[in-house]
Structure 1
């Protein structure tokens, strides 16, 4: 029987949206590699009553509880003190940890504040998980047959303790069963239409295989999750269902694997030795940022021209002053000229261009905010498409960025039958 694991993240800053909890996602991904699954993820405030309540509930549904956050030296970091009271134990100062904390300040030529000594306080009858990359150690404590593991909320410190101390020990709890996933990335079709098109395949899934729909702007990622005692048999089943879904969705299929659209697109272009550039106006470099976030993107992507001003469109992209005057910068002739200009100036196979009104100001009755033109220039010509978004500036930019990638994918797919 699989070990039940719960993750508890502690911090007002997470609840208030000041930071995003990436720790839980990373931990769940690592645990899955050892066929260990998470049954619950909980985020709570830096409050004694919230921590106690979370511990009480976790005791009823998990065998291992991973806790991050609240191990700092300031008054709002109350996790250790609250946990010690809850466990009925005490905190003692660990001299090895204290010397380590002092050495960190010494290496930085800084005097250590007295409050940092508290970071060396550990459970008197627990285990210390030494943190070589930070000041707060991890802690391992067993309470009523449930293992509680405490780690710092700082991501790189948490990852160090998980990798060096926690995962090696938890891997010993791996059950004889296996958990495997298959991902199918689709684009250009909505979640409901996708579900309708593969309803019969989904109905044929055995009880040990589940299908999840993971929609994002412009794409839907499908995840097949299977459990079984024989990994080879399970993988064969998952592969068969994944291939059936791929065949069914046809042109909407982008890629197998848990990847983002830009990663799948760049991989496909790299396999064809195709090159890419961008010319961005209203998106202001956001497309370039998405593309260059992918490791190895330089094999395909050659650069960008951020042509926010009309003079840049004319001087660097060879957009004619006549077209700008006659049609305006937010128009089909101009965005096509931008794409052609970028393809020529940067000497690439494909170029994507955007021009529009992201908002919140600048719109008119004839040209409202959210009007976006996108064009893709290719060896076979240039294709432009008009979009009307009705959101705030940030969302309009994100929608324009995603639809630029989708239009590029569509053009590349249609021009390269093996892509």
Structure 2
């Protein structure tokens, strides 16, 4: 069993909570009812034993919600007296169950001297069980087995299983944090690549412009024809740089759809997301750059905003579809990059749609057949 904490994302916390409640709460409730029914012989026995069972159920439910800190002490205060009352008053050998469950769960909240607290829990169960000898002296062996050995051993077993579950939870937490760090690193790599392209475009250009202006200043009074030539070249160079920068801003510069697909697969796999690419046909080269831009923007959005485990990329003769299962909100998130792309896709004769349905987020860019008239090929699939 695993228990989420506030450090997890909200969606992960909800999934783990639902898993724990669905898998573990019914058996815990059943055990509580059976134990109370077995030990209670009159109505007031139920009144004595029920608070321990209720405290155990509350502690378990709060544990799955990651909110046991505020409830551990109150639940322990309620469950602890039930065991002595069961031993001395009602003769209930199973009355230890409440403090056993609450104590084993509450050990997670203990940060110091956990071994000492654990030993105290075992000693409490054993010593209180031995107090049965004060009211039942005719069969000491039966008392030791039913009230001391069995409760103490089961408390030890439950505590060990809880500690193992805690270690399993820590492993899941580390894996989740690693996945988040990989996603952040993928976004950083994408930014570094953009910065590198921007430097390639503007760094050399600005340096050349600086030299040409300095040369024009020196020739201003001696060779006006040469100055005019240098200024014309400078103007053309700046115009070309502006065009390249604009293309880079829209992710079009040297953009290749095949390379973008491979890059998207690498980014998703680095973030721990399973990706599958299905190629139904070869895409017309006239629309491949814009489809690559849609794929790049969608990849960035998934890494930044979604909690996806699987991504499906489908290439058709007329476009591309990207589907992921990382829906984290009830409504469509604000995706400014795709919103800006939609008009450019429309201007090129296509349609860009974004929809969220049945826990999946679908982005599709489709062009008219005239824009993607390449001959269809045999469908093939690749992915991991």
Higher RCO (C-alpha under 8 Å, 6+ residues apart): 2
- Shorter chain as denominator, the TM-score bin is under 0.3
Flag the structure with larger Rg.
Answer: 2
TM, length-normalised to structure 2: 0.27
Identify, as 1 or 2, the structure richer in helix: 2
